[in-house]
Amino acid sequence: MAVQKWRLDDGPLSSTIERIGLATLHDFRRSARWLRQDLRELTLDTLSSRQVLEAGIFDADVLEKVTAEHFGGREDHHETVAFALDVALAHRIFCSKRT
């Protein structure tokens, strides 16, 4: 849990942690890196989509600031960005009108 909480699997110690097997003790290996790199485009496209912005579930200015800080490497907003992505995708799946 400490590996994930302090993002040790996403920093300079990542190769050491992986080598000794600590990274496999939590659900998602390299979860912070996965969101920041592999899911960056999906996250930004989803959170800035017209569908999400028009739904009014987020303050668009705050969301833009948080994502810019997170993906720009200025602040770590992993939990906030991951939660926003979860909510946006849930809204798309469960609340949007089917056409």
Residues 9-46: tens digit of each pLDDT: 556 666 666 666 655 555 445 678 888 889 999 999 99
pLDDT, tens only, 55-93:
999 999 999 999 999 999 999 999 999 999 999 999 999
Q: Mind giving me the DSSP string for the chain?
A: -HHHHTTGGGSTTHHHHHHHTGGGGSSSTTHHHIIIIITHHHHHHHHTSHHHHHHT-S-HHHHHHHHHHHHTTSS--HHHHHHHHHHHHHIIIIISPP-
d(CA 81, CA 87): 10
pTM (two decimals): 0.70
Structure tokens at 71: 């993906």
Q: How many residues does the chain have?
A: 99
